[in-house]
Amino acid sequence: MKSTRDVFLTLLFFVLTVGGWEFSTRFFGVADYILPPPSQIAAALYRGLSSGLYLRHAGFTVLETVSGFVLGGLVGILLGAVIAANRYVEFLVYPYIIMFKSMPKVALAPIFTLWLGLGMTSKIVSAAIICFFPLMVNTIAGVKSADEDRISLMRSMGASRFQIFCYLQLPSALPFIMAGLELAVVLALIGAIVAEFVGARAGLGTLIQNMSNNMDGAGQFSVLFILSAIGLTMSLIVRWVKKKVLFWDPSVKSNQSTQI
């Protein structure tokens, strides 16, 4: 728990940072469209929220992000499990994985927009493809991480390959899968926003672009604030699920007190 002194210092630091920002933008006469003062950002945030404009656009972005996360995550886990379980599939697919792994997946966004149009589908696919890789790679590593002694023990009990997979390899992969999900949830938001930049009818990315065209600096910053809040909320949800699922894993057991 935080002491009163810590709370005081935290507040003081916040006030100094925001106050310093407010003061210098006004004192040096920085143009609003370059760096708006915090008071104007707060006002823009209030206007955007109270008019319902931000919520409407955020709804699109969140739906695209979550759908892409779920879709890309599921496909990544499934394909990772199949690849890890079957040496031959791994042999055939691995060269492609290596090639795609090092490619910046957001660069595919224009192609998806071309193929799938300006609607939500192209954003969902863009978010999914960026989530897919960390989950596939982590699932492969996780399934392979199953302890040799545990595999031997299960074999001595007469377990089938499928039973060894369900009872041992999949639970052993869970810490890797959860780490992949933590990474993917942030990536999914990036995928959705970049795809919105390429071309969309609604969403926070579209909103930022419109504001940029109108030189509305305060508006852009206020939407960035909303995006951080969305990213943080989704990360916290994944982390909460991770704690519930991995209650037995040393990474969760030892970090319980230090995580935000």
Partner 1 sequence: MPPGAGDAIVIQGVSKRYGGTRDGEGILALDRLDIALADASFTVVVGPSGCGKSTLLKILAGIHAQSSGEVIIRGDVMTGPRRDIGVVMQSPVLFPWRSVIRNVLLPIDVQKLGREKYRRTAEDLLSLVKLDGYADRYPWELSGGMQQRVAIARALVNDPTLLLMDEPFGALDAMTREHMNVELQRIWLERRKTVLLITHSISEAVFLADRVLVMSARPGRIVDDIAIDLPRPRPREVMSSPAFTAYVEQIAAHFGGVGGHGE
Q: State the residues that interact with partner 1 by CB under 8 A.
A: 147, 149-150, 152-159, 163, 167-168, 171, 174, 248-250, 253
Using alpha carbons, select from 202, 243, 178, 241 the residue that is nearest to residue 62.
202
Residue 105 beta carbon to partner 1: minimum distance, rounded to whole angstroms: 32
Identify which of residues 78 and 153 has a Cβ nearer to partner 1 in the complex.
Answer: 153
Residue 172 beta carbon to partner 1: minimum distance, rounded to whole angstroms: 9
The Cα–Cα gap between 168 and 233 comes to 32
Identify which of residues 104 and 250 has a Cβ nearer to partner 1 in the complex.
Answer: 250
Identify which of residues 130 and 168 has a Cβ nearer to partner 1 in the complex.
Answer: 168
Residues in Cβ contact with 130 at an 8 Å cutoff, skipping those fewer than 6 apart: 68, 72, 105, 106, 184, 187, 188, 190, 191
Residue 177 beta carbon to partner 1: minimum distance, rounded to whole angstroms: 13
Identify which of residues 167 and 225 has a Cβ nearer to partner 1 in the complex.
Answer: 167
Quick one: how many helices (H) and strands (E) in the chain? 12, 0
Identify which of residues 50 and 163 has a Cβ nearer to partner 1 in the complex.
Answer: 163
Using alpha carbons only, how large is the chain's radius of gyration in Å? Answer: 23
3-state helix, strand, coil in the chain (%, to 5): 80, 0, 20
Residue 248 beta carbon to partner 1: minimum distance, rounded to whole angstroms: 4
Residue 253 beta carbon to partner 1: minimum distance, rounded to whole angstroms: 7
How far is the first Cα of the chain from the last one, in angstroms, to the nearest whole number? 12
